[in-house]
Amino acid sequence: MTSPGRGTAHLIVAQGVLLVSGFVVSIILARGLGAAVFGVYGVVMSVLGWLERVLHAGIPGATAALLARDPASGQGVEKSARLMMLLWSLPLFALLLLLAPALGAYFGMASGTTIFRIAAFNIPAMALFMVYVGILNGRHRFAAAAGVQIVQSIAKLAGILLLFAVGLSITRVFVAHVAASLLPAAIALLAYPLIGAPASRKMMATILRIALPLTVFSVTLVVLMNLSLWQLQAQGAGNAATVGHYVASTNLTKMLMLVPTTTSGVLFVAVARAVANSRPDLVAKYVQEAGRFALITLLPVCVLLWIDAEQVMLLLYGADYAGGGRMLGILCIAIAMVALLDIHFHALMARGLQVQVAVALAALLPVQFILNRLWIPQAGAEGAALASLASFSLGAVAAAVFAYRYFGQLMKWATLLRVVAASLIVGAISLLTPASGLLIVVKFGALMLVYLALLFVSRELTVHDLKPFALWKADR
């Protein structure tokens, strides 16, 4: 059986490949399609991503949890989960097919009906793909689960590269997207067949009870992360290229989602286990270390991207995206707030506060909607970015207040001061050393090394932090 530390390592590798390959895909499409068409691509992907999150936000996680708790029930859990995912995917698939004309009209897309209908075929493909990821994680086949996800990432990148060679079009892009989801699902189906106990209503009900709170939280979070983009497109503020600039900035900042993606799930399991074992000391330790990891990782990146945002956009996306840097710095901080919100809310859900977390997160929806209605007409894409930043900052503060109530101190003051000081120092150096083109990459790499050196000198980082996943190991 693979250890939790090794399992987390596999997850980080898979998510890293996913984010890097997805980022490369976004650069290729941004340059190949042009800002206006790339904006259409981003809007369709955001809608598709939201529907897929409705589909698989909770069931794969519930499947993994049940298999981990009771391996003897394996086949019944696995077959029940697969049947639930496939049955649930069909109405969502049909819904997107039926709503395609209305969505195309709402977003003002000339060929929106065709694009949305092609994208709809990704829903059943992703249903099969994601349920196998949950099953493999539950079997503690973490390497296999990571491998399936890596295959999907590489398949999508390969498909886009092939299209770039023969001719890009937005419809072809979504055909490649569907094919990239079908390939790893087929591989998993052949390599890890399900035999034995059949699906059962009782097991499906058990899966649903665990999956529902996770689904509500995850779906609400995805809506919040895309609401500004949807309103920006629907309200028609600015030209089509402006939406493309917003999508490009969003895709870049979503690289930072690697932090909550690889931290929150492990934190959820660790806190739940510690709560069940009546170990409040370990609960506090895990929450503090998760927040510390997020702060150390995200703060310097946000500072550096804020300072050189325009040059980064020009380097990665080209001259057509000049001006997008104004949104990049804002959205970077917004995603950092998402990370802190996600970490603390996952800890609270592991503590048994699923309903309270869902209500708190849902309360941000009207706030962000109203801010978008007020700020987008005045400031266009920048107004949308500011609305996201304001709502997520409010959510991060709320999550921290709730977490402090149940877990105590969330971070040591010394850690906060050291990380902030080191980030400000590298920010000042960045201001004094302007760069452009590929020199930006060299500059960022050098400044991150300076940042790490400052943390080691201040003893915020030690050799212990270099040990893989030491923060998740219980005290011996």
Tens of pLDDT, residue by residue over 334-384, are: 999 999 999 999 888 878 787 888 889 999 999 999 999 999 888 888 899
Cα separation, 235 vs 106, whole angstroms: 9
| The pLDDT of residue 238 | 55
pTM over the 0.75 mark = no
Q: Which pairs from 148-152 meet CB under 8 Å and 24+ separation?
A: 148/184, 148/187, 148/188, 149/14, 149/15, 149/17, 149/18, 149/184, 150/13, 150/14, 150/17, 150/18, 151/183, 151/184, 151/187, 152/18, 152/180, 152/181, 152/183, 152/184
pLDDT number for residue 476: 34
- The pLDDT assigned to 210 comes to 74
Burial code (b: 16+ CB inside 10 Å, e: under 16) for 117-140 equals: bbbbbbbbbbbbbbbbbbbbbbbb
Stretches where the chain sits below pLDDT 70 are 1-12, 15, 55-57, 61, 64-75, 137-140, 142, 194-197, 236-240, 265-266, 269, 463-476
**Residue 187 confidence (pLDDT):** 83
Report the pLDDT value the prediction gives residue 389, as an integer from 0 to 100.
94
Residues 265-319 pLDDT 10s:
667 767 777 777 788 888 888 888 888 888 998 999 999 989 988 888 888 887 7
